[in-house]
A and B are shown apart, each in its own frame.
Chain A
């Protein structure tokens, strides 16, 4: 009974708060929940973080191997502002389980203590979606799936001292299961964790295919949105917006599939995609799949994608729009070019919306019928080893084209109703 009344009271509070916020934009105080739960250091026994109060990450919180952390739908987790060793991050160590199963109605929100968002809200009242970032760390999930680091078969997360074994990832279990991570929105993070090293929104290191990851939103992170270091996990329905570096970053021979994703560039964003190949000789076989994505660029800066260090995998059915004229699809090194020529790296069915561009004398797209040779001007094979003409021909021949209207891309319905991007009306173009 007591719980029920408490719940009712909270619901009332939430309703009151939402309506309150709705009519007063900025300066009125928001009703804060009565209870805050503080978390710090190691989580060494199973824990549940409920949606009855705000959870505060005081600093580095690590779920240790063998331990399950359950986060209930609707939970709000706020990171303290801190840099370097004080950076507030949630690390799910190799062998630990995260059970964060949000819903479209009750997403789980990770944000900063500076965000005055209250329980039951999906939108905070005070922070700027584009400029306010770097206020806390991010979420790091580590697993036992194969990775291809510079040496050996395991790697330490940057910024975590080498003697903290929970910072280690990688192994030989491709089907490793780190748990469930769904309907999660990660906002305003990306603080410095080490020297010149910012935390990504969601870092996945050696996470195996047994793990369920879908419906993920990363908003305004200083560094990358989602970065996969090796591993085999599949990610469905991911949206990254306004990050400071790259939206989707792939390293160490990640071998999973990222399907149905959206990217919205901010004024300081770099690449939509930044894809690297294996770093070492071990586990160098993993090939990524990126498919069904819609990427919206920035009109003054930022690039479509950069493929480097022997990138291997396939990019299929993407729709790019809103990018600046100088943006390119870049093959950065000889190995990547060789992979492209050999077919272990493919670019197919990529559509680039050219309506906003001023084109050079070589011609302009006439209603989307002439796609050759213009689309190759976006394609930059920077290697001096490969045959650039052959690569161009291949690129143009693989159904990659300039278009003047939406052509394929992501299914935005997966992002409506629960994301900050949707609440801010940013999905209208997709």
Chain B
């Protein structure tokens, strides 16, 4: 109900705003570069005799509002010669189109026709990003809001996977096969805190696509960027205000025949907070703080038993899964933005909010463990453990974005506030069978209920000031504080052993347990940057850009795990319902029997760490010839990392400096503009990768969720990378391009997470491998098919082929050699973890603009990736290719296409998410299998521009 009210208020507000423009009219048009025909962004549209005005947007379009009457419209842009369109008749309540305005570059002007000017006919297809790509001094790829809308991707992770060379795994972006360690995700150019205890970076699926304008991926380093990326710099650019008033609402409903309205769906504790992705509140530790409760408490005199009973009773009694019908997937979005021009001042603002609620249900979720046979002459893998059963997932994601800009004269200020919150509730009811596990009790069967909730939030503020003066200087200062948190509160695992007679027992030896887990990670990040840039004209009238600046980024992470367990005092006959333990057999102070709760803080499973990186840089874009631009420079980075924590051997660090590095990072990019439409690029750069907080530490952290112990390594060196890139790009009509790239990266001291030693397969540690190499090629084509006589159709396709080799550590080689099968040999290298050998995207789009029809069929596939590095008798695990084929069609109608209906089908091929064990001359065996099935979605949106 709250939603409907808010929506109604906003609709009313928007309508009244529209009516307040009654005595005025609008002028619309498109601004392009006269020489290249490419759209120009941020051109200022004003009139000397009327208030109001506007800016051109990313695609060069503008819609400016003025008082009715005959007006001289002025169009200006820095470093371009201004134009005036005289005596435009502005109609009250109407719009007059003044067509395409071509601005001449001052530099081109200075050249006096040194370059052949070929004015291209502008088209209506999306091209802003491609224009940016063409002009960029870095190697750049990306995807735009328009592309995301056409394909129908709901979050940034799905959208990013459409970008050349990008694959996504578990919300994490891999660029050119390089994962979080080598790929940096930033928000509006500013660094973000991380959300995963095992990773440096943030998951992309937390950004909803409706609040994003563009995802830009920079693949070559320039000194103005932070030096700790190698694969890609992934910049999520949030929605900015438009040159015109925009109000848009949309809603969609998704139906999956296998998952929606399914009565078998399993769930737990429907606290009201979960609807708003805020389920953490109802899952707090009841004592407020983590408190030590010894198991022996009940034996203590003076009310120990009473205390034990109270403590056990303080927690939620719910341990089992509840069967309940799943609902439809829903999503709502709302957006309002405007620009106001007043006395040479410009105000712009944009408010956006989105909400989505999804249900997934897997009635045959399968998780297995296979091991190599004890007998080395047997190749087939042996089933060790099997978990199968029902899994219900409910995911809520909501976000708000507010940004405001103010511009007066040469100064502009802008501020953006972004908050996103994601709540995932997973409920599973599984049957566990222990087949031949040498690590546990053979033949054991467990009935396992797992109640899990994960709440992730990110709040980020960005304040920005730009000053441009007449002598060609521009200064940009940016400051961005942000905070993120990732909570896994009150994860409940109840495992009861049972036999064929349905006789349930709490059998420790067979693996029975009742556990409650709490895990939290909170990270604060403060990023400040100052950049100066000046354009200078050389004697030969070519333009050179001098840039320098400074930046500082400090991040602080705190991490903690807390666990409570129940153990029975006495013997109880169980019926298999996990709630029976808490409802019937909880510890009773009178009988001094029952399931007793205990737990305590563990200093070795918590840490707090800080990283400060200070940097200065200087760079220059220098035209060696009219067509050859050299972009060169150097960045200096000083990094200091501090760690507070203790290990299980009582060794503790208090704010101990564990990393102190000063690095010089040079970069040379060459851009050869063979023709105005063809770029050839070459780049040679040095970048680095730093160990994460817990990697360079004395940590010995037992993660109860994975059951793995992570051991820090104080001897770890940071990784240094040499990057070589080459790319050929040809830009055709607007929105069309073809590009071919090649890259080669050489890593010194690459960090790999490996098993500490072969006999401890659950103890992991980061180690420097000797070296690693990554090389590959990329191809991209965006093209209309009218040249082939097929009208209204266009294709967008890209393909990447990546090869990586990493030198294995001696421990890994020993661990593998010990378990080689007869006739099997291994080398000293393997591929990098998480790297897809190939990535293919194919999209076909049909657009009939005059009838408001758009249809898109998109296909994405990533080659099999090494997910878990096997050691000893544990084989390697690969994530199999997921063949994603999606379709979306939309129909826009009513005046100016303000309403749109859409229909989409996701996963048309009904492919399944599959991870498999891979052994030498052995059949692949399933590690995890989830079948998402097809989802059908209808959507409606309404927007006034």
Contacts and interface: CB of A to CB of B under 8 A. Distances in A.
Same assembly: yes
Nearest to B601: A86
Given A81-B296, A86-B602, A152-B818, A162 B756 contact: yes
A131 B605 contact: no
Given A279-B374, A333-B442, A246 B702 contact: no
Contact of B763 (A60, A162, A192): A162
Interface string B745-767: 00000000000111110010100
A40 B650 contact: yes
B563 interface: yes
Contacts of B301: 27, 29, 126
B593 interface: yes
A427 B30 CA distance: 99
A268 B763 contact: no
A309 B438 contact: yes
Given A41-B649, A83-B600, A308 B296 contact: no
Nearest to A267: B571
A114 B569 CA distance: 15
B299 A156 contact: no
Nearest to A280: B374
Interface in A104-137: 112-114, 126-128, 131-132, 134-135
Given A27-B301, A86-B600, A194-B702, A59 B650 contact: yes
A226 to B, nearest CB: 14
B916 interface: no
Contact of A163 (B300, B711, B819): B711
Contacts of A337: none
B655 interface: no
A114 B299 contact: yes
Contacts of A154: 759
29 contacts: A42-B649, A60-B648, A81-B294, A82-B294, A83-B598, A84-B563, A113-B296, A127-B299, A131-B570, A132-B569, A135-B299, A150-B873, A151-B818, A152-B759, A156-B757, A156-B759, A162-B757, A163-B711, A194-B707, A195-B702, A195-B704, A196-B513, A223-B508, A245-B509, A268-B506, A268-B568, A270-B509, A309-B438, A332-B443
A271 B507 CA distance: 11
A276 B437 CA distance: 12
B127 to A, nearest CB: 54
Nearest to B301: A27
B702 A85 contact: yes
A161 to B, nearest CB: 4
A271 B464 CA distance: 70
B649 A162 contact: no
B759 A150 contact: yes
Interface of A: 27, 29, 40-42, 59-60, 81-86, 112-114, 126-128, 131-132, 134-135, 149-152, 154-156, 160-164, 168, 191-192, 194-196, 198, 222-224, 244-246, 267-268, 270-271, 274, 276, 279-281, 301, 308-309, 332-333
A156 B704 contact: no
Nearest to B650: A41
Contacts of A161: 647-648, 700, 709, 711, 763
A163 B647 CA distance: 11
B117 to A, nearest CB: 68
Interface in B345-395: 374, 376
Contacts of A29: 301
B604 interface: yes
A230 to B, nearest CB: 12
A240 to B, nearest CB: 14
Nearest to B599: A83
A369 to B, nearest CB: 34
A332 B146 CA distance: 63
A385 B300 CA distance: 54
B593 A131 contact: yes
Nearest to A195: B707
Nearest to B646: A85
A388 B2 CA distance: 71
A162 B711 contact: yes
B404 interface: no
Contacts of B511: 196
B142 interface: no
B677 to A, nearest CB: 58
A244 B758 contact: no
B938 interface: no
B560 to A, nearest CB: 13
Counting chain A CB atoms within 10 Å of each CB, the highest count among B511, B563, B763 belongs to B763
B276 interface: no
A81 B295 CA distance: 7
A149 B759 CA distance: 8
Given A82-B600, A151-B872, A164-B648, 9 more contacts: A83-B563, A83-B565, A112-B296, A135-B295, A135-B299, A150-B438, A151-B819, A162-B763, A163-B765
B21 to A, nearest CB: 64
Interface in B561-576: 563, 565, 567-571
B934 interface: no
Nearest to B295: A134
Contacts of B508: 198, 222-223, 244-245, 268
B505 interface: yes
Which 5 pairs between the two chains have the least Cβ-Cβ distance?
A245-B509, A114-B296, A162-B763, A162-B756, A81-B294
Given A162-B760, A308-B442, A223 B600 contact: no
B815 interface: yes
Contacts of B507: 245, 268, 270
A7 B390 CA distance: 66
B791 to A, nearest CB: 62
A244 B707 contact: no
Contacts of B758: 151-152
A163 B648 CA distance: 10
Contacts of B438: 150, 276, 279, 309
Interface string B435-476: 010100011000000000000000000000000000000000
Contacts of A271: 509
